[in-house]
Structure 1
Amino acid sequence: MQLESFVQLFVNSNLLTGPLPKDVGRLKHVVVLSVENNRLNGNIPEAIGDCLYMEELYLGGNAFDGVIPDIRNLRALTHLNLSNNNLSGNVPEYLANFSTLENLDLSGNNFEGVVPTKGVFQHSGNRNLCGGIPELKLKPCPRNVVSRTRRHSSNKKKIFIGVGIGSSVGTIGSGFA
């Protein structure tokens, strides 16, 4: 963390262990910090809120615990991934006030309490979802719904089978000629 002029720092999937250094806040000019899919643990340092130019913060896939630190000073934040950790406590209300936040992933943690209803929490971008547990208040799924992916993959299978049969017949036919 002695190199304060870093603009982007990617150390994903390196099996790094231990806590994220407390002096991470010294990276004043960092725009992207990504330490996903390591074995980092402990609390996310409060000093991370001192990285004033940060736009993208990826801490998912580690073993961070405790609460989300106060990062309300990260006014340029567009992407925040804290997924698949052991974070707990409430989801901070101030996250709903980030006007720049386009992508937020808090899944796979142990949060509790009320989820904010404003800002990024208001528009999930998943209008086509249906079913699920009643607390999600999603519309019920029609009985005959076949996902686009499954339909698309079914068409691919038909094409591959057709091409395979055609090639086999062509090869066999030329062998008899």
Structure 2
Amino acid sequence: MENGEYATWATLFENHCQAYMVHDHLTSAVDTTLSTAEKALWSRLDALVRQWIYSTISTDLLHTILEPKQTAKDAWERLEGLFQDNKHSRAVYVGAGELKKLAGQLSNVGAPVTNQRLVLQLISGLNESYDGIATILQQSNPLPHFYEARSRLILEETRKSKHATAAGTALYSASSSSDQRSDNSSNSGGGRNSSRKNNN
């Protein structure tokens, strides 16, 4: 799902939730003042909205956002944050998604991966161009949550991409200006030679 597709999906999903009067499950946590029966109803409806989310996104996205004891609001906000962060980036998103999928598989066989190990593994998979942000993350005490670390890496990747684009544009402009000066110089020299011949 790309950013444009996500915007369409999100609009249609919100409309669907509004039609079934469960849109508040995307924006609010359970009200602690509800009675036991009302909380049970809220929990059942929240599970329904979560299932709608899980069943209408790709498997890769599902593995990326899925967490135990997740509410519909949690899933909705993580999905929203993923696409907001991902406007200019794909590499970190893909790598983080694969790592999260592997952690989920280990958890399913009784070997859960802690947030600390997940974040450190994410950092260790980075190349040397990310040494700066990797050091900052490693020295954080406590380590940030996996999703926060992923977001900060995506922001760094976006910054690098913008700098690379700006450098390429500047190089092209400088090259074009140099070519233009060279052409002007050649034309000027040709004009002077022609003038001397005519005078002779």
User: Fold match, TM over 0.5?
Assistant: no
Q: State which structure, 1 or 2, has the greater radius of gyration over its C-alpha atoms.
A: 2
**Could you say which structure has the higher helix fraction?**
2
**Could you say which structure has the higher strand fraction?**
1
Output the TM-score relative to the length of structure 2. 0.30
**Higher RCO structure, 1 or 2 (CA under 8 Å, sep 6+):** 2
Output the TM-score relative to the length of structure 1. 0.33
